[in-house]
Amino acid sequence: MEIIRNRYFGGERPLFAIHDTKLVNVTITEGESGIKCCKNIEADKCRFIGKYPWWHVDGSLITDCVFEVGARSAIWYSCNMVMRDTVIHAPKLFREMRNVELENVTFNDADETLWRIDGLKVRNVTMHEGTYPFMFCNDVYVDGLNTDSKYVFQYCKRVEVHHAMITTKDSFWECEDVVIYDSEINGEYLGWHSKNLKLVRCHITGEQPLCYVENLVLEDCTFGEDCDRMFEDTTLQADIRGSVTNIKNPRSGRIEVDSVGSITIDENILPPADCIIIQRKNLAE
């Protein structure tokens, strides 16, 4: 493998179509498409400043690098990439890609980041600001995610999440086949219009969570006091610890909970309208 050290590259496509190359302490300055149509590229302790610096690359290892604000839309149309210990200040990274692994990565502007990725592994990732990260992704595994970005995980399929702290709004909308373990999800309208959504040992806050869901499963979950109008038009099997404020018009299934502040069943409930709600505290009395 060729090694390029301690260099600056700028302008249009300075490293076009290179292959089997390692960049060490290299800076891609102002310009466009610094690394494009390449194969088997490594970058260590590099800095990316110009636009679109990493497109159409097959086989990448990026470690201890920085993508500055100007490196917007930095990594698109690439596959088989591993990124570790890297800080990203630019929006709109990672689009239309396959087989991506991120570990110890910080996004300081996660706007429209990680779109249409097939095969994504995330470990110990922090995401700040922005909207719609992870949209249209498939086959996603997450272990360690802290994000305050808005509208996280929409239109995703086959997602498994562990140990996440998600503070957002409208997360996991119109998703399919999602399992979330040992996580905290804060924000309004969690999981609306999703299918096959399962949460295990999670804590949930925010208004109107988990409505219009087909086949929702909850195991040992807890809810904040602000969770009202829960489960409207949802089919579910739920084992909830502690109390909940309000349940409204669940479509069918079974809910076991310690206690409920109020239950709303009105003329807007949809058939079969046969959900069983069991309050364990009342049974104990």
Residue 133: is the preceding peptide bond cis (ω within 30°)? no
Q: Cα 175 from chain centroid?
A: 11
Q: How many Å apart are CA 72 and CA 197, to the nearest integer?
A: 33
With respect to residue 277, please indicate whether it lies within any of the assigned structural domains.
yes
With respect to residue 74, please indicate whether it lies within any of the assigned structural domains.
no
Summarised one tens digit per residue, pLDDT across range 25-65 is: 999 998 889 999 999 999 999 999 999 999 999 999 999 99
Question: What is the model's pLDDT at position 30?
Answer: 87
With respect to residue 86, please indicate whether it lies within any of the assigned structural domains.
no
Enter the pTM of the model.
Answer: 0.94
Summarised one tens digit per residue, pLDDT across range 158-212 is: 999 999 999 999 999 999 999 999 999 999 999 999 999 999 999 999 999 999 9
Total domains in the fold of the chain: 1
Q: In the numeric block, which tokens belong to residue 156?
A: 């995703």
With respect to residue 16, please indicate whether it lies within any of the assigned structural domains.
no
Is residue 1 pLDDT above 90, yes or no?
no
With respect to residue 193, please indicate whether it lies within any of the assigned structural domains.
yes
- What residues are paired with 131 via a beta bridge? 150
Residue partners of 161: CB distance under 8 A and separation at least 6: 140, 142, 145, 178, 179, 180, 181, 183
Residue partners of 284: CB distance under 8 A and separation at least 6: none
The range of the structural domain enclosing residue 214 comes to 169-285
Q: Which helix (H) or strand (E) holds 116?
A: strand 115-127
Kindly report the backbone phi and psi dihedral angles of residue 280, in degrees, each rounded to the nearest multiple of 5, phi listed first.
-65, -35
With respect to residue 224, please indicate whether it lies within any of the assigned structural domains.
yes
With respect to residue 41, please indicate whether it lies within any of the assigned structural domains.
no
| 3-state DSSP of 126-138 | EECCCECCCCCCE
With respect to residue 249, please indicate whether it lies within any of the assigned structural domains.
yes
Question: What is the model's pLDDT at position 31?
Answer: 84
Q: How many Å apart are CA 180 and CA 164, to the nearest integer?
A: 9
Summarised one tens digit per residue, pLDDT across range 230-265 is: 999 999 999 999 999 999 999 999 999 999 999 999
